[in-house]
Structure 1
Amino acid sequence: MSARAPDQLRDFSIERSTLTPAPGCVIARFGNTRVLCTASILSDVPGWLANQDPPRGWVTAEYNMLPASTGGERKKRGTDGRSQEIQRLISRVLRAAVDLYRMPRLMIVCDCEVLSADGGTRTTAINGACVALADAIQWALEKELIPENPFLGPVAAISTGIVKQKPMLDLDYILDSSAEVDLNVAMDHNLDLIEIQGTGEQAAYSRDALNDMLDLAEQGIARILDAQKKLLGI
């Protein structure tokens, strides 16, 4: 069992970076998990959106793990089924942070590259990509690419689970690999739910257990939102 209290996040940071020239560039760290998150502006939206009236923009994400990010044997780079599932999750959550009709015909792509993985890569990616997205939007406003600010507020995510029959917040790899239940939760700036992904890895779990995990997730997400808001100056 971890030495952390059940409701304690791992040590975390979300910091802007100059590693890339993208309008938004952030490195998010939770424990030993580190994700480079960039946000780039494209002037073309997907074809199915091109002729929509009224026009709207789009936000999407891509997710990859560097070949040696897990610290074990080097893995071949490529987008597998797991990566596709995760990048769809990240995309959905990030779109909850914006009003797409306020960024007509503009597309923002958030690239999330896992530099080192020790559990919670998808939630770490969301937490960093949200700040990168907000920075890219600010850049687009300054360049007068959009008429008004579409950013509604930060979104954040965290993992929870049941380990040795006890709810636990922010699972690292060791905790995640032994958890009876694994739950990923994403919320908006009002702490309203965006997404819940929960799996009984070893056994079914009760509604009460789900509520306990959601309570832990809300506490953790509130702290992450505070850090994002401080960084964004909102």
Structure 2
Amino acid sequence: MDRIEINRANGRAADALRPVKLTREVMKHALGSCLVEFGDTRVLCAATIEEGLPAWRRASRAGWVTAEYAMLPASTNRRSRRETGQRKGRSMEIERLIGRSLRTVTNLRALGEYTVTVDCDVLQADGGTRTASVTGAWVALHDALMAWVDAGKISRLPLMGQVAAVSMGVVDGAELLDLDYAEDSRAEVDMNLVATDTGEIVEIQGTGERMPFGRERLGRLLDLGDAGIRRLIDLQNQVTAFRDDDEEGMDAYGA
């Protein structure tokens, strides 16, 4: 395949992430919190834990992890209305994605009869808000569960691994990693990948926005995404020391 010349913001290479930053403990009253930044996209993730379960879940004898997602009114260049009375379909779809992703790496039976909610509020949007939310939500979840361990509520950290997400796409014929808004808005192919630290896929969302794509291109995009996920997993581990500190708990739950 011929190499396509690209001109990305800040001279970023096709396979490069935007500058990513994970800042923990940014909220006083949340058990776990993380401000996640993918370039100019910023999402505040806050995890809280409540005793008890939703009514439909009570017979399971296992905990529950869920998420809520919203974009603040001034997060884009045009003010949007707050989602008070009627939720947007997009927001509900994204929060379900975040919840599914977190549950994939959580041992819900080991969690016990507690409900963890991770709130993801977009402070500033420049593409990739859902992937940033998944990545930051895991950090907030980790810290909340560690706080629950420290409080003696549960004996060991009920996390079996890590999960992160990244976007890929085809823009002006070039295959790119981690699209910003300017790229995403004109992408011929738009894709999101959610995967674990073991490389297993949680979810793939891919659409031929302006053109169809074949399996060969799909494979190359997934390779881009895999590499991006590995970098994000490493960054999560740098800020939480999960791989070092939680090895015993992971082994105990068959991770």
How would you bin the TM-score normalised by the shorter chain? Answer: over 0.9
For 1:219 and 1:34, the matched residues in 2 are separated by 22
Match of 2:67 in 1: 61
1:19 CA displacement: 2.9
Paired amino acid for 1:73 = R
Report the secondary structure of 2:213's partner residue. Answer: coil
Percent of pairs with identical residues:
44
Q: 2:104 aligns with which of 71, 79, 96?
A: 96
Deviations 1:5-39 (A, max 9, x none): 11000011001133341010110000000000000
Report the secondary structure of 1:178's partner residue. Answer: coil
Report the secondary structure of 2:106's partner residue. Answer: coil
Deviations 1:137-176 (A, max 9, x none): 0011111222332111211000000111121000000000
For 1:229 and 1:182, the matched residues in 2 are separated by 28
For 2:31 and 2:153, the matched residues in 1 are separated by 13
Q: How many residues align?
A: 231
Map residues 36-75 of structure 1 onto 2, 5 A cutoff.
Answer: 36-52=44-60, 55-70=61-76, 72-75=77-80
Query: In 2, are the aligned partners of 1:61 and 1:87 still within 8 Å (CA)?
Result: yes
Gapped runs of 5+ residues in structure 1? none
For 1:6 and 1:18, the matched residues in 2 are separated by 32
TM-score, normalisation: structure 1:
0.96
For 1:232 and 1:112, the matched residues in 2 are separated by 19
Q: Which moved more, 1:166-175 or 1:43-52?
A: 43-52
Map residues 40-189 of structure 1 onto 2, 5 A cutoff.
Answer: 40-52=48-60, 55-70=61-76, 72-78=77-83, 79-189=87-197
1:96 CA displacement: 1.2
Query: In 2, are the aligned partners of 1:37 and 1:129 still within 8 Å (CA)?
Result: yes
Match of 2:247 in 1: none
Report the secondary structure of 1:221's partner residue. Answer: helix
Paired amino acid for 1:63 = Y
TM-score, normalisation: structure 2:
0.88
Deviations 1:112-158 (A, max 9, x none): 00000000000001111100000000011111222332111211000
Match of 2:3 in 1: none
For 1:41 and 1:172, the matched residues in 2 are separated by 33
Decide whether aligned partners of structure 1 residues 67 and 20 sit closer, same or farther in structure 2, where only a CA change above 3 A counts: farther
Query: In 2, are the aligned partners of 1:141 and 1:148 still within 8 Å (CA)?
Result: yes
RMSD (Å) for aligned C-alpha atoms: 1.0
Gapped runs of 5+ residues in structure 2? 1-6, 244-255
Query: In 2, are the aligned partners of 1:103 and 1:147 still within 8 Å (CA)?
Result: no
For 2:59 and 2:27, the matched residues in 1 are separated by 36
Match of 2:212 in 1: 204
Deviations 1:63-104 (A, max 9, x none): 00010101x221101130000000001111111121111011
Report the secondary structure of 1:102's partner residue. Answer: helix
Report the secondary structure of 2:142's partner residue. Answer: helix
For 1:7 and 1:121, the matched residues in 2 are separated by 19
Query: In 1, are the aligned partners of 2:27 and 2:46 still within 8 Å (CA)?
Result: no
